[in-house]
Structure 1
Amino acid sequence: MIDEIDLIALLADHAELARLCDLLEGVADDLPALPADDDATSLCHMLEHRLPTHEAREHRFRETVFAAQSMPNGEPLLDRIRCRGVSQIMQAQDLIAALQPSASPLPATTLGYMLRCFFEGCRADMAFEELAILVLADRRLTPTASTLLRDSLERRCRD
């Protein structure tokens, strides 16, 4: 069985990643003005550390929850989650390079596109992952875990 304690770290990571997405959306909304150097440095630090940490935790979660299960229909879902995690890290690296205070400024339209692709994709990926867990682990979720996951997914899809 999967209890809420098994989901807490993953959902806390999703909440932190959602906050980072909100900050990046604010940067995109403020373009063509760029963030102050301190803010840009802080965003770069979050991008550099949050995504690899998140991916590592997700990997451990998938290994713990799904590794021992035979899920012929679930493998494509888990493969998509893995691939999107790698893609997010690569996009974060591109954003770090673009947001560095010492970087040559990109045109606002280019930076805006990069930011929006990242935070919209990241939000969609979190919702997809939570939905995949609901589908793949449905019978193994305790009622409390199921409620926790459904509430998180509802918030994710509402934003």
Structure 2
Amino acid sequence: MTVPPSPFDVPMNISTFEILEDDHVVQRSLCHELEIVADRLPSLPAADEILRLCKSIQRVTATHFNRAERLFADLPLAHRPGPAFLSALHEMHQFDRMHGEDLASELWHSIEPEGERDVGKLSYMLRCFFDGCRRAIALKESGIEIARRGLMPG
């Protein structure tokens, strides 16, 4: 047996469900971090941490949301959640994407030295985003279970 020079040279067979579940780990972590920010208001993290959070919000809303919708839509028809599920997921992601853009902008402006900070508004925006993301994760996990049952033999 020839050992590949790098573990990354080994072909990987990652299932659709594992990709979604890995994405959910990332999303849950971001939600947890944002909840901590909300709980600590009116204090805010340092500017470099705010920048990292803003980039994470952008990455989740631009990459993870699109990937989830595509993966569900690409499942074999017999195992794919129905059109109502796909539509609901898309709508949830649209709201979360919009909330994420607004939140990232508000977070970024909140650390400007001369900027006025509306703590109530920021708290509400943080909670809208992480609550929405958690609802979408719950919906996707129900979709994974539906698909797994369809893919299970017998």
Pairwise TM-score range, normalised by the shorter structure? 0.7 to 0.9
Please provide the CA RMSD for this pair.
2.5
In structure 1, C-alpha distance between the alignment counterparts of 2:91 and 2:54, rounded to whole Å: 22
1:108: Cα distance to partner?
1.1
Larger radius of gyration: 2
Closer, same or farther in 2 for the Cα pair 1:142/1:126, shift >3 Å?
farther
Partner of 1:75: 83
In structure 2, C-alpha distance between the alignment counterparts of 1:142 and 1:48, rounded to whole Å: 39
Aligned residues between the structures? 139
Partner of 2:4: none
Partner of 1:19: 29
**121, 124, 127: which one aligns with 1:110:** 121
Partner of 1:157: none
Partner of 2:132: 121
TM superposition score normalised by structure 1: 0.77
1:31: Cα distance to partner?
0.3
Unaligned ranges ≥5, structure 1: 144-159
Task: Give the 4+ runs in structure 1 shifted more than 6 A.
Answer: none
Percent identical: 30
Partner of 2:73: 63
**Larger relative contact order (Cα-Cα within 8 Å, sequence gap ≥ 6):** 1
SS of the aligned residue for 1:38 comes to: helix
TM superposition score normalised by structure 2: 0.79
More helix by share: 1
- Between 94-103 and 7-16, the greater mean CA deviation after superposition: 94-103
SS of the aligned residue for 2:123 comes to: helix
Unaligned ranges ≥5, structure 2: 1-12
